[in-house]
Amino acid sequence: MSQVTIKDIEVLNCEYGKNTIKFLRLHREGKKHFVKEVEVCAHLRLTSPQEYLEGNNSLVIPTDTIKNIVLVLAKKNGIPSLEQFAIDICNHFMTTFCQVAYVKTYVQEVPWQRLHEDGVPHIHSFICVPDGIRFCEAEQCRNGPLVVFAGIKDLKLMKTTQSGFEGFYKNEHTTLPERHDRILCGELFCKWSYGECKDFDFNCIWKKIRECILEAFAGPPDCGEYSPSYQKTINSIQMLVLSRVSQVQVIEAVLNNTFYNVVDMKNLGLDNDKEVLVPVEAPYGSCTCTLGRKKFFEAQGQMMRDERKCQFGLAAAQGN
Amino acid sequence: MSQVTIKDIEVLNCEYGKNTIKFLRLHREGKKHFVKEVEVCAHLRLTSPQEYLEGNNSLVIPTDTIKNIVLVLAKKNGIPSLEQFAIDICNHFMTTFCQVAYVKTYVQEVPWQRLHEDGVPHIHSFICVPDGIRFCEAEQCRNGPLVVFAGIKDLKLMKTTQSGFEGFYKNEHTTLPERHDRILCGELFCKWSYGECKDFDFNCIWKKIRECILEAFAGPPDCGEYSPSYQKTINSIQMLVLSRVSQVQVIEAVLNNTFYNVVDMKNLGLDNDKEVLVPVEAPYGSCTCTLGRKKFFEAQGQMMRDERKCQFGLAAAQGN
Amino acid sequence: MSQVTIKDIEVLNCEYGKNTIKFLRLHREGKKHFVKEVEVCAHLRLTSPQEYLEGNNSLVIPTDTIKNIVLVLAKKNGIPSLEQFAIDICNHFMTTFCQVAYVKTYVQEVPWQRLHEDGVPHIHSFICVPDGIRFCEAEQCRNGPLVVFAGIKDLKLMKTTQSGFEGFYKNEHTTLPERHDRILCGELFCKWSYGECKDFDFNCIWKKIRECILEAFAGPPDCGEYSPSYQKTINSIQMLVLSRVSQVQVIEAVLNNTFYNVVDMKNLGLDNDKEVLVPVEAPYGSCTCTLGRKKFFEAQGQMMRDERKCQFGLAAAQGN
Amino acid sequence: MSQVTIKDIEVLNCEYGKNTIKFLRLHREGKKHFVKEVEVCAHLRLTSPQEYLEGNNSLVIPTDTIKNIVLVLAKKNGIPSLEQFAIDICNHFMTTFCQVAYVKTYVQEVPWQRLHEDGVPHIHSFICVPDGIRFCEAEQCRNGPLVVFAGIKDLKLMKTTQSGFEGFYKNEHTTLPERHDRILCGELFCKWSYGECKDFDFNCIWKKIRECILEAFAGPPDCGEYSPSYQKTINSIQMLVLSRVSQVQVIEAVLNNTFYNVVDMKNLGLDNDKEVLVPVEAPYGSCTCTLGRKKFFEAQGQMMRDERKCQFGLAAAQGN
């Protein structure tokens, strides 16, 4: 077929940036040390795609410069919270470079915790405890609002009872038996957006949301709470967060669940009363839901709703 | 704050499905064997989110049933191409279950190649050669068109010259020197969408696109072609695909590049003329562009354009 | 060259087994649940290599049977400790199958911890907290002693001061400056062997050793302790374990260290007083030492010493 | 218990070094470029463990210097073969540093292959094709011989018939049925040692051994060869290598096999004649054998035999 030229095509998107900018920000108060180790991604869309289409680099801020700026901001501002740092990055690019049409930044924390010896906190020693990774995102279009997301990922939870799955749709391809007592286990991903962020204590809010997630997943410590499906558990988590944390406007949750198969030991002459179970890691079920406050969208309008749909709900789009 | 109830919230998205359904489809012609090993993800959105909001499972097709259906379709239809198999899955769910509002499927291939001994193909032995992974996606909303995407990922390419980066924007945070002869190395991800798929030879098209990618990346075998930036190389790949493969309507390319740092050996008393270089794996630069044919969008309208923007361009959204 | 036959060769080793046998052992006391999820490898050497050399399978216990036995033992005996379970497996194979010449088993724990809500332990909910993975090994030759090893791996620790590296050997290839205040950060692997295991409380001992490791790494909470090298820190850990835990006869420690590079910000107009540092993940330094009690080897003799050398000290042998 | 001091303990092993030293060695002949990208680990044992026991660093060659030396050798000598480069490193450390008692080096290749366009080789473009990774090791004790190993890892092979497993040992824990037609699929690791290396063409030998492995695994292209067990297939591979490649003295092979489970579709109303199979990735079977030439050990004596046993046969020791 004939040659395609630039006038035949339309640029739907183009952006670039630096990924996995890893660094440690060390803060000292006398002999006491505080660490924040993060991994940052920062992406830009420029006002013209000329570097893609024409090989004209004159507007391109090199990814090496992007990295330098991230490090300089960390040096100057510290990292009071991941979210504030992500906001600082967005602000810097928007105010410094008029050729930047859009900036997006992602910040993820390396989960260092202060070591304790017999309950006494150590002044400069830390241990890595990855029981759920904190992250955030901030993005801004020129002349648009700064949108801030926060989240937790790689949070693996299990409850060994108070979970079932019954009353589902059945046809000739159904072989799954109904179950009213099974293990519910999965890896949770939650991401939420804030409304206009004025004077938020992001660290405090994040901690509160993490507690909501654990509480809604597990139910009361002395008895738990029955989960009729992974889906309903997701919803319980979301509803509790929305009830307790007014700053959250939209919340997405994805639960990738590991099924535990009770080993049939009849052939081996034993009766296995759900004592020995084998995890099935592939294939695995995945469910996701994104909820928003009606009031928020009524105030913001349909465009915001569409934007949020595109910003969330990517679980299936990512494929794996 | 006060309890949030279902009437206060809006469901922006909810879906669920089975991921990493791995299986091998073995086909025999006499003593000659043919294998297709794949990994399938299949996700559904139902007409009501009642299982999330109310714990009512009556419409839910269990993910175990989804898995069964995928395996049954593989048994019945075989896998003539990844794309046809993805289409078969979409069609099955849409025509069988009226409660399905949307179906999306992702199929990825395990890159088995037939073994050869002294040039003779073996009738039943294979070797895994992961030099770029083929995948596809198909998705359909009820009453909407079936959209088919295909792609290649994890394709690692390098050229050791004919690459530079000059004339970029500079300010006080710029420390990168200009370079007119550097190594260009990266991992490429390409995904494209087809228009209406009638009688496509998906295997042949995919192979042709892979060849375009390699040719545009490398340039002529005897001299190569100068790349002024990663961005321009991406564009060259996209333009060549659009020129040669009329079935492609939109194409996204993401290049995650590994920078090779020439080791400074002056302190070690040696002059290193770009002979010993060290790869810098973190941080890494990433650039992405999505191009569409103007004619396609003029025919399809703005809504399609917005949809495609949301279906592609996820590199930054994914964060890492 | 001419055909090689069985009489020309010598079998230096042959063994086989099942790896990554993953299962969850659930134990209930009234409404309170206890979980132990493990991953087991079990390998056998048979009295004859006839299945390798002659294709005679008559002595081969299928790896599927090995898996069944592991699950049956878990059902019957529970998992009071990883070590006791590894011993149970060894005992079972040695006493049941006269064709087994050697058995080796490896057990690794999935680090589930009971969830707490406001300090109250939950009766059946758990969170995965991988801050160092517990494992053990047990092995036995027919007519030989049962040897039990335990260990911790993937333990990531950091101290942000009280670490230096000075007075090292220098020549024309040395470019590293001396440092008296740097970050010491690494991933620790420790493995130790017990003597004759009679009535050991393996869980209690393991916990005590973990505490020794953390204490020796970090030093006193209010001031730390200066480390002149990674090597000396390893030694401090080993010496403290040997001092406090009489059951440990030999202890190996491997520290894979991540260097943190202080970012030079002079070109960026800033003075970086070790506030912003970049981790260097490749290449990384690795050091390892294996210490044994003299008394133990004096009692056991040279053969035991050689065996232990072969059982430990594999860090370099593994290559990466 | 009482404090343990240095005089109470014995150092069974201590060593240290630099791992994953990654670099690219670019060689140009006119406009034609040749690349060799490798990952090197180099470990040393010093004549005294004083840096571990006493914190005396005076003999310690910093790992940073080790890295510098590896890069300098690459610059000066190039990488004619992985094995020659590993030998060069050993020689350098042994001849330069009298405090080095033992040196071990591991070199692994990044599998770049020259790109071809329509059969024409490109002068400077490459694609990464990881269909089995080449590696080698070299080690030397002061006053001892230099020992060279080479190998291939991550080689995934499959044959879809001509494999069975029958006549194995059965008892009450056996549930595996006998099979005379199953899929044989696995990841192969092979490592072998050479005798005294004089004027070996290591690249040619390695290529020949790879061909032997494929041929022995698959059998004749037109019919294959029946494998009665994974173990026997391992042996066939080893015997063919020893028959064809006289330089190989000892050869270890490890096969980690993936079982493919024929999906039972009776409940789904279908008869599945081994057309749809599901891979079982955990647990997986593993078998390993190490064979040596009798003549070699008769010449070298028992000590060499013991050393080789310790240098090979690590599959079970590594646990996973």
Which C residues in the span 33-72 are in contact with A, Cβ-Cβ below 8 Å? 33, 35, 37, 68, 71-72
Question: By the 8 A CB rule, do C219 and C225 touch?
Answer: yes
| Total residues found in chain A within this entry | 320
Q: How many CB atoms lie within 10 A of CB A78?
A: 17
Whether A127 and C215 lie within 8 Å, measured CB to CB: no
Residue A218 is classified by DSSP as H
Residues of A in contact with C64 (CB under 8 A): none
Closest residue of chain D to A264, computed from CA coordinates? D175
Closest residue of chain B to A256, computed from CA coordinates? B19
Asked if the C-beta of A268 comes within 8 angstroms of chain C's C-beta atoms, the answer is: yes
Q: How many CB atoms lie within 10 A of CB B176?
A: 16
A173 occurs within a structural domain = yes
Whether D221 and B116 lie within 8 Å, measured CB to CB: yes
The confidence score (pLDDT) of residue C138 equals 97
When divided into structural domains, chain B yields a total of 2
Separation of alpha carbons C114 and C33, rounded Å: 10
Closest residue of chain D to C249, computed from CA coordinates? D9
Looking at the structure, tell me whether residues A306 and A231 fall in a common domain: yes
The 3-state DSSP class for residue D149 equals strand
Whether A75 and C115 lie within 8 Å, measured CB to CB: no
B33 occurs within a structural domain = yes
B3 occurs within a structural domain = no
Nearest-CB residue to D173 (from C13, C72, C317): C72
Whether D16 and C288 lie within 8 Å, measured CB to CB: yes
Nearest-CB residue to B162 (from D117, D124, D276): D124
The confidence score (pLDDT) of residue A17 equals 98
pLDDT band at residue D319 under the 50/70/90 scheme: very low
- Helix or strand run (H / E) with residue B236: helix B230-244
Looking at the structure, tell me whether residues D53 and D81 fall in a common domain: yes
Of chain A, the percentage scoring pLDDT greater than 70 comes to 96
Inter-chain Cβ pairs, chain A and chain C, closer than 8 A: 196
Listed residue (B155, B248, B139, B262) closest to B200, CA to CA: B248
Known binding-site residues of C for urate equal 63-64, 165, 182, 231, 257
D114 occurs within a structural domain = yes
Question: Any idea which of B211-220, B294-303, D72-81 has the lowest mean pLDDT?
Answer: B294-303
Q: Domain residues for D298? A: 155-311
The confidence score (pLDDT) of residue C3 equals 84
Angle between helices B302-311 and A302-311 in degrees, nearest 10: 30
Residues of B in contact with D124 (CB under 8 A): 159-162, 224
C4 occurs within a structural domain = no
The confidence score (pLDDT) of residue C319 equals 35
Domain boundary among B81, B111, B144: B144
pLDDT band at residue A1 under the 50/70/90 scheme: low
Question: By the 8 A CB rule, do A229 and A165 touch?
Answer: yes
Listed residue (C109, C259, C254, C283) closest to C188, CA to CA: C254
How far is Cα of residue C238 from the mean position of the Cα atoms in its chain? Answer: 14
Listed residue (D32, D129, D36, D17) closest to D74, CA to CA: D36
The confidence score (pLDDT) of residue B1 equals 57
Looking at the structure, tell me whether residues C139 and C167 fall in a common domain: no
- End-to-end, the C-alpha distance of chain C in Å comes to 35
Separation of alpha carbons B7 and A317, rounded Å: 28
Residue range B103-110: mean pLDDT, rounded: 97
Angle between helices B82-96 and B202-218 in degrees, nearest 10: 130
Whether C23 and A127 lie within 8 Å, measured CB to CB: no
Question: By the 8 A CB rule, do D242 and D248 touch?
Answer: yes
Asked if the C-beta of B181 comes within 8 angstroms of chain D's C-beta atoms, the answer is: no
Looking at the structure, tell me whether residues A191 and A262 fall in a common domain: yes
| Total residues found in chain B within this entry | 320
Nearest-CB residue to B16 (from A69, A287, A305): A287
Whether B33 and D157 lie within 8 Å, measured CB to CB: no
Model confidence pLDDT, tens digit, residues B145-181: 999 999 999 999 999 999 999 999 999 999 999 999 9
Q: Which of C73, C79, C124, C156 to mutate to test the interface with A (most CBs of A within 10 A)?
A: C124
D320 occurs within a structural domain = no
Whether A125 and C159 lie within 8 Å, measured CB to CB: yes
**CATH for C227:** 3.10.270.10
Whether D157 and B278 lie within 8 Å, measured CB to CB: no
Q: Answer positive or negative: Cα dihedral of C55, C61, C64, C67.
A: negative
Asked if the C-beta of A269 comes within 8 angstroms of chain D's C-beta atoms, the answer is: yes
Residue range B284-295: mean pLDDT, rounded: 95
The confidence score (pLDDT) of residue B121 equals 98
B1 occurs within a structural domain = no
Nearest-CB residue to C60 (from D56, D106, D169): D169
Distance from CA of C77 to the nearest CA of D (A): 16
Inter-chain Cβ pairs, chain C and chain D, closer than 8 A: 325
Whether A175 and D267 lie within 8 Å, measured CB to CB: yes
Model confidence pLDDT, tens digit, residues A253-262: 999 999 999 9
Looking at the structure, tell me whether residues B123 and B89 fall in a common domain: yes
Whether D293 and C8 lie within 8 Å, measured CB to CB: yes
Domain boundary among A144, A166, A191: A144
Looking at the structure, tell me whether residues C63 and C163 fall in a common domain: no
Looking at the structure, tell me whether residues A18 and A93 fall in a common domain: yes
Looking at the structure, tell me whether residues B237 and B301 fall in a common domain: yes
pLDDT band at residue D302 under the 50/70/90 scheme: confident
Closest residue of chain D to A283, computed from CA coordinates? D278
Model confidence pLDDT, tens digit, residues A81-136: 999 999 999 999 999 999 999 999 999 999 999 999 999 999 999 999 999 999 99
* Res D317 pLDDT > 50: no
CA angle A175, D283, C54 (to 5 degrees): 120
Model confidence pLDDT, tens digit, residues B65-92: 999 999 999 999 999 999 999 999 999 9
The 3-state DSSP class for residue D190 equals strand
Model confidence pLDDT, tens digit, residues D79-138: 999 999 999 999 999 999 999 999 999 999 999 999 999 999 999 999 999 999 999 999
The confidence score (pLDDT) of residue D1 equals 57
Question: By the 8 A CB rule, do D35 and B158 touch?
Answer: yes
The confidence score (pLDDT) of residue A254 equals 97
ipTM: 0.95
Rounded (10°) CA dihedral A44, A48, A49, A51? -90
Closest residue of chain D to A171, computed from CA coordinates? D268
Known binding-site residues of C equal 63-64, 165, 182, 231, 257
Asked if the C-beta of D104 comes within 8 angstroms of chain C's C-beta atoms, the answer is: yes
Looking at the structure, tell me whether residues B119 and B90 fall in a common domain: yes
Domain boundary among B84, B114, B144: B144
Distance from CA of A143 to the nearest CA of C (A): 29
Model confidence pLDDT, tens digit, residues D38-86: 999 999 999 999 999 999 999 999 999 999 999 999 999 999 999 999 9
Residue range D199-224: mean pLDDT, rounded: 97
D317 occurs within a structural domain = no
Asked if the C-beta of D172 comes within 8 angstroms of chain A's C-beta atoms, the answer is: yes
Looking at the structure, tell me whether residues B161 and B188 fall in a common domain: yes
Confirm or deny that B143 is annotated as ligand binding: no
Closest residue of chain A to D267, computed from CA coordinates? A175
Whether C52 and D232 lie within 8 Å, measured CB to CB: yes
Nearest-CB residue to D51 (from C97, C232, C314): C232
Give the CA distances from residue C301 to residues B291, C145, C297, C305, D8, in Å, rounded to whole numbers and listed in that order.
74, 14, 5, 7, 16
pLDDT tens, N- to C-terminus, chain C (320 residues): 568 998 999 999 999 999 999 999 999 999 999 999 999 999 999 999 999 999 999 999 999 999 999 999 999 999 999 999 999 999 999 999 999 999 999 999 999 999 999 999 999 999 999 999 999 999 999 999 999 999 999 999 999 999 999 999 999 999 999 999 999 999 999 999 998 888 899 999 999 999 999 999 999 999 999 999 999 999 999 999 999 999 999 999 999 999 999 999 999 999 999 999 999 999 999 999 999 999 888 887 777 777 777 777 543 333 33
Distance from CA of A233 to the nearest CA of C (A): 14
Give the CA distances from residue C163 to residues B125, B292, C240, in Å, rounded to whole numbers and listed in that order.
56, 56, 19
Confirm or deny that D175 is annotated as ligand binding: no
Whether D65 and C175 lie within 8 Å, measured CB to CB: yes
Nearest-CB residue to A173 (from D173, D268, D282): D268
How far is Cα of residue C244 from the mean position of the Cα atoms in its chain? Answer: 19
Distance from CA of B46 to the nearest CA of D (A): 24
The confidence score (pLDDT) of residue D3 equals 83
Give the CA distances from residue A258 to residues A282, A286, C55, D226, in Å, rounded to whole numbers and listed in that order.
8, 9, 39, 38
Which D residues in the span 149-168 are in contact with B, Cβ-Cβ below 8 Å? 155-162
Output the pTM of the full model: 0.96
Looking at the structure, tell me whether residues C136 and C167 fall in a common domain: no
Model confidence pLDDT, tens digit, residues C106-147: 999 999 999 999 999 999 999 999 999 999 999 999 999 999
Looking at the structure, tell me whether residues A60 and A186 fall in a common domain: no
Of chain D, the percentage scoring pLDDT greater than 70 comes to 97
pLDDT band at residue B318 under the 50/70/90 scheme: very low
Residues of A in contact with C27 (CB under 8 A): 275
Q: How many CB atoms lie within 10 A of CB A196?
A: 11
The 3-state DSSP class for residue A1 equals coil
Q: b vs e for C18-40, b when ≥16 Cβ sit within 10 Å of the residue's Cβ?
A: bbbbbbbbbeeeeeebbbbbbbb
Model confidence pLDDT, tens digit, residues A37-61: 999 999 999 999 999 999 999 999 9
- End-to-end, the C-alpha distance of chain B in Å comes to 35
Separation of alpha carbons C285 and A23, rounded Å: 19
